[in-house]
Amino acid sequence: MTTLHKRLSLCLGWFKDENHTRILLGLLVAALLLRLAAVLIIPMDYRFRQDAVRYTSLAQQLLNQEPYGLEPGVPDALVPPGYPLFIAGIWALTWQSLMAVRLAQALLGVIAVWMTFLIGRESFSSRVGLLGAFILAVYPVWIIWPALFLTEALFTVLVLAFALYLVRSTRAYSAKHAVGCGVAFSLALLTREALYGLPVVLPFACWWARRLWRDTWRCLLLFAVAVLLVLSPWLIRNYITFGHVFFTEGSAYTQYRVLGSGYLSPHMQEVVNNPSAGKSPEYNERYGLTGDMVRVKRLFTEPTTYLRQLGNRLVEYWLHPNGLESLPDNLAIRGTYVALHVILVILACVGIVSGLKRREAATGSLVLLLGYATGLALFFGPPNPRYNLPFLPFVFSFAASGALRLARGLVHGFRNRARRSAG
């Protein structure tokens, strides 16, 4: 055997069933230690601006039982209440300790690693689950992210819970899984409105998994009931406060852009009147104005500009997970960072194509989530690299699947070659 063959065989052999529990426990401990080190070492004011200030201010309003809104005393529905409630709940128990919030988010980071393992195991195999969890455990961005007062730490765990229940629901009908899927989806939506339109395409996941339509409609009905029950307090609050039934001002604005009618808050009316506000001319030229990409007719009237802006959005969203501006201005560091992520994306594509060819039930659900997130960034919002962080665990799972498939292919190739040589 060649040296490469021996090393690949050794690596694959390490993932034997009897080692899975020990490896997983080691990954969880390592993930916890890395995240604890980050939250204890990183200064408390690191990137404490804009959104972080908003979330903590809203949490303070909830504790003081003041009107919920970005301007003191003026209620609004710009920010869903999930993450401010999370902070307020921790503050109520810890005398408003910011460090307590960081520690709780470090634990959420470990839970995310564990849930990535579960999704990889139930979607593909335990080996894929372990390798995907390993990538998330040591991924630099996710090591430092619990130190930031941003929604991703909480939102990612809820998205993973939703995906796990969705995968289980597409395999076999279960009322428990359908309700769990609805509750996790609702809590994720209350944390960030990114999944707002996803239920429209959920029937596709059931169709891909070859579920009976009778079971599909039962699952969707239970899902819808759970969603309405969890979201109803927030929806009722908005109706009482503003006289309209809507989820957030941003989701209502998206509906207005797509349908041409609906509720527009005063804040969103300003966005309609001045779509280029808040962005530099260079940014608007590179990525397009708000709503530009929805006007697909530009593909025929301005094909070069439209495709260029669409390509820029795709590159920015998937090849720069945390934005290169966060890295040292060093070509080697930035080049290595981008190159490693490109490799992950390529391996993920290998795993996706392989799963689609086999029509694996879980692949359809996870690709649905990735496709939805990508479409949202390309057509309905700014291509902020931060917004794809909650969906990276699915990329890691697919990358792990692709890497292991390639490794097994190489091992089998070496063995066949050795047999032919011996014969």
What pLDDT is recorded for position 8? 47
User: What is the three-class DSSP state of 381?
Assistant: coil
Is residue 88's pLDDT more than 90?
Answer: yes
Is residue 52's pLDDT more than 50?
Answer: yes
Mean pLDDT to the nearest integer, 381-407: 90
- Residue 351 in any domain: the answer is no
Is residue 275's pLDDT more than 70?
Answer: no
- Residue 67 in any domain: the answer is yes
- Cite the beta strand spans of 191-245 per DSSP E: none
CA distances from 365 to 160, 232, 283, 318 (A): 12, 26, 33, 19
Asked whether the beta carbons of 366 and 416 are under 8 A apart, the reply is no
DSSP one-letter string for 6-73? HHHHHHHHHT-GGGHHHHHHHHHHHHHHHHHHHHHHS-TTTT-STHHHHHHHHHHHHHHT---SSBTT
- Residue 238 in any domain: the answer is no
Distance CA 309, CA 315 (A): 10
Is residue 33's pLDDT more than 50?
Answer: yes
What pLDDT is recorded for position 211? 80
Asked whether the beta carbons of 369 and 397 are under 8 A apart, the reply is no
Task: Count Cβ atoms below 10 Å from residue 58 Cβ, excluding itself.
Answer: 22
- Residue 370 in any domain: the answer is no
Bridge partners (DSSP) listed for residue 71: 74
- Residue 164 in any domain: the answer is no
What is the SS3 assignment for 114-179?
Answer: HHHHHHHHHHCCHHHHHHHHHHHHHCHHHHHHHHCCCCHHHHHHHHHHHHHHHHHHHHCCCHHHHH
- Residue 225 in any domain: the answer is no
- Residue 347 in any domain: the answer is no
Distance CA 66, CA 251 (A): 24
- Count of residues in the chain: 423
Query: What type of residue sits at position 246?
Result: F
Asked whether the beta carbons of 190 and 81 are under 8 A apart, the reply is yes
Is residue 278's pLDDT more than 70?
Answer: no
Distance CA 149, CA 44 (A): 10
pLDDT tens, residue by residue, 213-269: 888 889 999 999 999 999 999 999 999 999 989 999 988 887 887 777 778 888 888
Identify the domain containing residue 144 by its residue range.
Answer: 1-150
Query: What type of residue sits at position 394?
Result: F
Residues in CB range of 15: below 8 A, 6 or more apart: 23, 126, 127, 130, 131
- Residue 13 in any domain: the answer is yes
Asked whether the beta carbons of 134 and 28 are under 8 A apart, the reply is no
Domain count, the chain: 1
Asked whether the beta carbons of 136 and 110 are under 8 A apart, the reply is no
* Residue found under tokens 């929604």: 151
Asked whether the beta carbons of 365 and 108 are under 8 A apart, the reply is no
> Helix crossing, 175-191 with 152-171: angle to 10°?
160
In terms of pTM, does the model score above 0.85?
yes
Six-digit token string for 275 = 């779509």
pLDDT tens, residue by residue, 343-387: 999 999 999 999 999 888 889 999 999 999 998 888 887 788 888
Bridge partners (DSSP) listed for residue 74: 71
Distance CA 27, CA 85 (A): 30
Closest CA to 28 of 134, 162, 142: 134
Distance CA 358, CA 352 (A): 10
Q: What is the mean pLDDT of the chain?
A: 87
Please give the residue that has the higher pLDDT: either 247 or 322. Answer: 247
34-49 exposure pattern, b = at least 16 Cβ within 10 A, e = fewer:
bbbebbeeeeeeeeee
Please give the residue that has the higher pLDDT: either 27 or 250. Answer: 27
pLDDT tens, residue by residue, 93-151: 999 999 999 999 999 999 999 999 999 999 998 999 999 999 999 998 899 999 999 99
What pLDDT is recorded for position 250? 86
Q: Rounded to an integer, what is the distance from CA 411 to the centroid of its chain? A: 33
